[in-house]
Amino acid sequence: MKWEDVCQAFPEQWVLIEAVQAYTNEQSERILEEVTPLKKFTTSPEAMRAYQEIHREDPTRELYVLHTNRENPNIIEKKWVGVRK
């Protein structure tokens, strides 16, 4: 699905989506060409709990929690420098 399709299917909802086809442009914005909606929610804390559960099981999946009132996802990648402890 395209993001616009998700917004039409789930108006005014928080959604947990998985990126199926995505890339990063020169401005470090993540462009989601195809996504799969996994579940809808009425509150963001509910959505984040579901995200955390799935992410713990498989951290390689590209998951996002977004509200469908957004015209575009507007996801900016940040480069981390250094060592995590």
Mean pLDDT in order along the chain per 10 residues (85 residues): 97 97 95 97 96 96 96 89 69
Query: How confident is the model at residue 80, as a pLDDT?
Result: 77
Domain that holds residue 14: 3-73
The structural domain count of the chain equals 1
Answer whether residue 80 is part of any domain: no
What is the pLDDT at residue 78? 86
- Sheet arrangement for strand 29-41: 63-67, 14-24, 29-41, 75-76
Q: Decide if 83 is inside a domain.
A: no
Can you give the pLDDT at residue 71? Answer: 93
- Please tell me the predicted confidence (pLDDT) of residue 30: 96
In a domain, 8, yes or no: yes
